[in-house]
Amino acid sequence: MVCSLLVCVDCAAAQSAPQTGAEAFILMDAGSGRVLTGKNTEQELAIASTTKIMTALVALETGNLSDKVTVKQNHLKEGSSMYLRAGEVLTLEELLYGLLLPSGNDAAECIADHCSGGGERFVARMNEKAAALGMTHTSFANPSGLDAQGHYSCALDMARLAAYAMREPTFARIAATRTAAVGERMLGNHNKLLASLEGCTGLKTGYTDNAGRTLVTCCERDGMRLIAVTLNDRSDWADHAALYEYGFAAFARKRAVARGEEYTLAPVRGGTQTSVSLAAGESFFYPVTAGEELLVSARLPEELTAPLTAGQAVGELIVSMDGRELARAPLVCAEPVAAAEKKQSLFERLFDRTG
């Protein structure tokens, strides 16, 4: 059985997406993955130190924040640095601040060595994680982002990575930190938008001669979280600000399905009641612009059979727009339905009396 409900939306008037100076860029809704605007989103390019988003994620999955890590001479790499010294001991958490705020290549090498016993094994984990996240245009060759053969990604993959990373509480906390004290060091975050852009919560800057300026950021307003990525962009700060102003003005985050909201009634056979109320088991939000409408359809059996428990999945809600399916959510029983007591036949009643 299928029934449908049209979700009407009220948005600001449509406006044109801004142009950027980037070789490739994207603006994506983090919750749904909808691409709001972009150019060359799957073009494989060098990504410089935005690589360290993945480095931090793998470190958080394989190490403990309180781990004591000894710095070795071979960890002291060229380029951006948190100025580690061979022989000093820091915690993994302190190294993560050095990785994500001043973009320390030395911190990246130290983390990789500690978490996997060597750079190659750590890079293998980075690539395994990329594959698990569906980053089909990405290959890592080192944990720092220094130019290397076989080290690249694309704007779409980096946006997906950023959206995933910002759901990790420790990563999100560190990426949003403007300054942090690590021993005698005062580390400053290279992401200028944390201080200048309303709602900016991270993420990571990057630069090499080959990659140019790369930037991945996250911004949240009124419950809608957007991710912007620019690759090889000389005007990245201004371009990210313009992308967010466009995204938040042109799109509104609408709730198509609300968890716990009753959607329909379904007939029940063999129960203490003849029908049961069905509710959404999950919520689903989607960014929409003027003139767009979300359609919610329910798929459920023609008839349910008691007993039924509250929260039991019996069907699903399908959210679509312009004939394209966007998501599915379980349709669950909003209340329990007990099985009706079976009535005895005349023969059974006579047998009970004589037995």
Query: Cis bond leading into 102, ω under 30°?
Result: no
The residue annotated as part of the active site, out of 49, 80, 144, 153, is 49
Q: Roughly what angle, to the nearest 10 degrees, separates helices 105-116 and 52-62?
A: 30
The residue annotated as part of the active site, out of 32, 52, 204, 254, is 52
Known catalytic membership, residue 103? yes
Tokens of 92: 């993994």
Whether 268 and 304 have beta carbons less than 8 Å apart is answered as yes
Residue indicated by tokens 């990246």:
108
CA distance 95 to 110: 8
Tokens of 121: 């094994």
| CA-derived radius of gyration, the chain | 27
The residue annotated as part of the active site, out of 32, 80, 103, 144, is 103
Phi, psi of 341 (to 5 degrees): -65, 130
Known catalytic membership, residue 52? yes
Q: Which helix (H) or strand (E) element contains residue 108?
A: helix 105-116
Residue 252: strand pairing partners: 288
Tokens of 137: 């245009």
Strands 304-305 and 212-221: unpaired
CA dihedral 123, 155, 99, 109 (to 10 degrees): 20
Catalytic site residues?
49, 52, 103
